[in-house]
A and B are shown apart, each in its own frame.
Chain A
Amino acid sequence: MNLELILFIVLALIAAVSAVMVITQSHPVMSAIFLILNFFALAGLYLLLNAQFIAVVQVIVYAGAIMVLFLFVLMLLNTSSEFKVLTDKKFIKFFALLISAFVFVQLAYLIFFTKPSNAVKGNLNVSSQIGTIQNIGKELYTNYIIPFEAAGFLLLAATIGALILAKKKFE
């Protein structure tokens, strides 16, 4: 067993257990905190896959900024009453079970019955370089300029939308 495998097993276990904890906690804020742990474990997994930039973004944006939004939403809603509505309905649980079973079957199929894509298989050295910041910078500012500029306009629209919907005194 090499170091990568040991790290993978540890991180995967943390990710899986914390994901289960997210949905079993009775207090939503605790769920959110386990979600942070899950994000960190995922970031570690990304690092093992040589996707350093994605790993850093995962920590900065998801574990940092998005989690803050999650917590604010939990505090905006009156969680104690609204959380019960979700847990009391039987058919919601059934529906959730159905969807997760479906996703599970799909992922199991993915793991056990498909071969790795040929595009990755042949040149491991090239594909291990894909996730570096240099490579992302090169691709993003040459081939992917238009999606990049589109992201600018997307963020602009989100800014304006957030301001107009959430600002109390808007003139």
Chain B
Amino acid sequence: MVTNYIPIFLVLLAASIFGAAVVFSSRIFGPLRPNKVKIMPYESGKDPIGTTNERISIKYYLVAMLFIVFDIEVIYVYPWAVEFKKLFAQYGLFAFVPMFIFLVVLELGFVYIFMKGGLRWD
């Protein structure tokens, strides 16, 4: 029932309060005396050139894409781990087979990325 989720909700609330406190407490407690130089975007001490809407490199995108793939892999592994005892009791070692194939397929993909230098930042 919904009341079961109250602890989770409390943790979420505490986390967001803490996050907000960290961000905004300095604004509340610290002295606020802005001038033109202070509110400039920080660019290693130099005067900023151009806008902040710079196009970023596609390399970041590749990393994010690979992250998603393995994120989803973990999502698939999780219910298997939760249900493993029952599956093992019912099917014995066959309970390993589907997950084994799945992991072989994806880890081969990981080794492939590694060998092809997909994780190298060139």
Do chains A and B make direct contact within the complex (CB under 8 angstroms)? yes
**B3 at the A/B interface (Cβ < 8 Å)?**
yes
* Nearest-CB residue, chain B, relative to A80: B53
- Interface footprint category on A: 35 or more
- Tell whether A108 is near chain B: CB-to-CB under 8 Å: no
B52-64: CB near A (< 8 Å → 1, else 0) gives: 0111101111101
Taking the complex as formed, is A30 at the interface, i.e. its CB lies under 8 A from any CB of chain B?
no
- Number of residue pairs across A and B with beta carbons under 8 Å? 138
Is B79 touching A78 in the complex (CB atoms < 8 A)?
Answer: no
* Residues of A127-171 whose CB lies within 8 A of B: 133-134, 136-138, 140-142, 145, 148-149, 151-153, 155-156, 158-160, 162-163, 166-171
- Rounded to whole angstroms, the CA-CA distance of A142 and B109 in the bound complex is 25
* Structural contact, B79 and A53, CB atoms closer than 8 A: yes
Minimum Cβ distance to chain B for residue A145 (Å)? 5
Q: Are A78 and B53 in contact (CB under 8 A)?
A: yes
| CB neighbours of A155 from chain B (8 A) | 69, 72-73, 105-106, 109
Contact of A141 among B54, B99, B113 (CB under 8 A): B99
Q: Does A166 lie within 8 Å of B61, measured CB to CB?
A: yes
Q: Which 4 A-B pairs have the closest CB atoms?
A: A137-B83, A137-B79, A152-B105, A162-B65
Binding site for A on B (CB under 8 A): 2-3, 5, 51, 53-56, 58-62, 64-69, 71-73, 75-76, 78-80, 82-84, 86-87, 95, 98-99, 101-102, 105-106, 108-110, 112-113, 116-118, 122
Taking Cβ atoms with an 8 Å cutoff, the residues of A that contact B are: 3-4, 7, 47-48, 53, 57, 60-61, 64-66, 68-69, 72-73, 75-80, 133-134, 136-138, 140-142, 145, 148-149, 151-153, 155-156, 158-160, 162-163, 166-171
